Amino acid sequence: MNQFSTTRPPTASRGGRSIRRPLQGGVHRLGMNRNALPEIAQNGRFGIPVNEAAEAPESAVSRRCRKAGVVAPRAIAFRTLPALGRSTKLFGQVFGIIVPLCCILVVSASGSPRTLSDRKLFAKGRTFSEVCAAAARAKAQLIVSQQWSVTTAVCHANVWFTRTGSITYRGGVVLSGLVDGTLDTHYIREAGGTLSISDKNSTLYLSWWGAVADGTDESSKFQAALDTAHTNGGRRISISYRPSCYLAQNLEFYSNTTIFSDTQATCVKKPDGGGLYQMFRNNSAAPVSNVHFRNFTIDGNRGKQPGVTGDSGLYGIYFAGASDSSIERMVIKNAYTDGVVIGCSGRDLDHMMEAGTNVQILQSLITNSRRNNVSVACGMGTKIRDSELSYANGTAPEAGVDVEPDYEGQHVGGFQIVDTEVHHNAANGVLLQPKAEHDLTMSVLNVNSHDNGAMGLYAVDFGGAGDLRVSGGVFGNNRGVAGIGLAGWARSAVSGESVYGSLRGILLSANNPHAWLGPSVVSGTLYDLSVDGPRITAILYGVWLAHGVVQSGGENCIPYFPELPELKIGCI
């Protein structure tokens, strides 16, 4: 028997009468074979096989349901199957009416917003304020598809811009509702006015100000977006991907701003011959907080800056006195000077002393800077984690990261570099040069610093009172005088390291009165360990010196006894 049979269901005799038995599952009077029911149940809803049903086009009511977040199945368009009879067709028609009707009731109860287009009102000569007022009274979302020229206006309705909609504002415009629109469209044009967007959750899109990455300098469009974010108390600014780089420079950012893209391939590039300008910076007299750069590329275009002399300016990102800010999943490359600078703020540009706190560089690649990839001149608790610093070259210091205050009193304590690869920089990989600072601590943890032109780590405390911890890293094939070089630290601890491929494995220079070398594997092509200078005492515990070769110069040095598990070596 076919799945949809015209044969009548089986009957039974009861008291001389023929009784029609209902089919399994409560389905009856459809002329179906009972044995086919399990298969039918698997095929589709209402006993209709998938290949026998077609989804009806979405109606206006269903579309309204979906936009309101009410999940309701669309009406099923039943094919006319003679075997199913008129009752099934009628059921499909009734179902197609009931479901949208229920949806209307649910949508009405949920208070789903209506929409109101500005097109007809625009044609009638209404002002933007009048159109907004009409939408607000109707509790409707205003769909802006026309080009409005506005002097001053306050709009309390939620606003959605289509690709053709725009506002040119010459005075003060306040959008107090939700603001959104079609992405990658230019719909807010500035003509010397100010724009206020009251909703704190609104994301600003750079394309709203007309930035399209067309090869022209779009700095003014970037700055308009940054200024709008600032006047509204801070916002997220999204940079849409384009196949070409946006050209921009000298962009001032403010507190409570996040600049991001959906893909790291989105690029902002310094124009050719752009002058001595940082690409992104804050006002050095106005320290910032809660500023974040996320997931795009900054290209300093160092090879096309003719006529530029000196090393000031031309940074990728310059933080002056920043706190609680971050650079995350970024690529910063080809800076003429430094990829990232973390410095002090202050009104005296020649002697800025106000340090920020807690700036982090996370999961980022900073490479091919002409001076340093990262310079930390001033800032407490700076952290670099899960990043790569490579190929700094051009002019000294040429380090992967250089922690070096410009003046006495600029603080850099609490610096950490963790789980980071530092390689192929022209000079030192990690360069630490703090000045006199109270309670100074620094940490180099699980760092792989290799193939640099000088030392993998060179740490000199010029104040002579700091604590340094180096743990769990690899320092290999660095071409300087040592893989690790330490000088001037009141207390230093090195453990869990693998050091190889340099002239000396570890070099302890002058003024290391309490150096502790814990379990490590240390090898140098000339000396595994070199103790070279006055006022050094090193305690070695469980250190494996590959060649057993130690240099300790001068007559006042403690001898080395390789057979002891713990020993002292040093020079008075």
Among 127-131, 414-418, 535-539, top mean pLDDT goes to: 414-418
Rounded to a whole number of angstroms, the distance between the first and last alpha carbons of the chain is 105
Q: Using CA atoms, how far apart are residues 216 and 202, in angstroms rounded to an integer?
A: 28
Q: Are 488 and 534 in contact (CB under 8 A)?
A: no
Q: Looking at the predicted structure, is the pLDDT value of residue 325 above 70?
A: yes
CA distances from 137 to 130, 158, 174, 517 (A): 11, 12, 17, 75
Q: So what's the pLDDT on residue 31?
A: 38
For the chain, what is the mean pLDDT? Answer: 80
Q: Looking at the predicted structure, is the pLDDT value of residue 294 above 80?
A: yes
Grade residue 123 by pLDDT with cuts at 50, 70 and 90.
Answer: confident
Q: Looking at the predicted structure, is the pLDDT value of residue 379 above 60?
A: yes
The identity of residue 378, as a single letter, is C
Sign of the torsion angle spanned by Cα atoms 544, 548, 554, 555: positive
Q: Looking at the predicted structure, is the pLDDT value of residue 35 above 60?
A: no
Mean pLDDT of 412-423: 98
Q: What burial class does residue 296 get, using C-beta atoms within 10 Å of its C-beta: 0-12 exposed, 13-18 middle, 19+ buried?
A: buried
Q: Looking at the predicted structure, is the pLDDT value of residue 52 above 70?
A: no
Residues 6+ apart with CB under 8 A from 139: 113, 114
Q: Residue 424: name the closest of 474, 368, 376 by CA.
A: 368
Mean pLDDT of 441-449: 98
Q: Looking at the predicted structure, is the pLDDT value of residue 144 above 50?
A: yes
Mean pLDDT of 198-225: 90
Structure tokens that stand for 71 in this block: 């999940």
Higher pLDDT, 53 or 207: 207
Mean pLDDT of 306-328: 88
Grade residue 568 by pLDDT with cuts at 50, 70 and 90.
Answer: low
Q: Are 496 and 470 in contact (CB under 8 A)?
A: no
Q: So what's the pLDDT on residue 271?
A: 94
pLDDT tens-digit map of 521-531: 999 988 888 88
The identity of residue 89, as a single letter, is K
Residues 6+ apart with CB under 8 A from 295: 260, 261, 262, 263, 264, 266, 328, 329, 330
Q: So what's the pLDDT on residue 509?
A: 85
Structure tokens that stand for 184 in this block: 């990658």
Q: Which of 137-141, 164-168, 246-250, 379-383 has the lowest mean pLDDT?
A: 164-168
Q: Which of 14-23, 44-53, 288-297 has the lowest mean pLDDT?
A: 44-53
Q: So what's the pLDDT on residue 512?
A: 84
Q: Looking at the predicted structure, is the pLDDT value of residue 47 above 50?
A: no
Q: So what's the pLDDT on residue 25?
A: 39
Q: So what's the pLDDT on residue 132?
A: 93
The identity of residue 518, as a single letter, is G
Q: Are 184 and 162 in contact (CB under 8 A)?
A: no
Q: So what's the pLDDT on residue 569?
A: 65
CA distances from 383 to 152, 359, 374, 406, 443 (A): 46, 6, 11, 19, 10
Higher pLDDT, 19 or 285: 285
Q: Are 487 and 464 in contact (CB under 8 A)?
A: no
Q: Using CA atoms, how far apart are residues 306 and 393, in angstroms rounded to an integer?
A: 18
Structure tokens that stand for 498 in this block: 């693998």
Q: Which of 188-192, 324-328, 379-383 has the lowest mean pLDDT?
A: 188-192
Q: Looking at the predicted structure, is the pLDDT value of residue 426 above 90?
A: yes
Q: Looking at the predicted structure, is the pLDDT value of residue 54 above 60?
A: no
Structure tokens that stand for 48 in this block: 């209709």
Grade residue 560 by pLDDT with cuts at 50, 70 and 90.
Answer: low
Mean pLDDT of 81-88: 45
Mean pLDDT of 160-184: 85
Q: Which of 28-32, 273-277, 309-313 has the lowest mean pLDDT?
A: 28-32
Q: Looking at the predicted structure, is the pLDDT value of residue 237 above 80?
A: yes
Q: Looking at the predicted structure, is the pLDDT value of residue 95 above 50?
A: no
Grade residue 538 by pLDDT with cuts at 50, 70 and 90.
Answer: confident
Structure tokens that stand for 171 in this block: 């005075």
Directed axis angle between helix 60-67 and helix 85-110, to 10°?
A: 40
Mean pLDDT of 497-503: 96
Q: Using CA atoms, how far apart are residues 115 and 274, in angstroms rounded to an integer?
A: 46
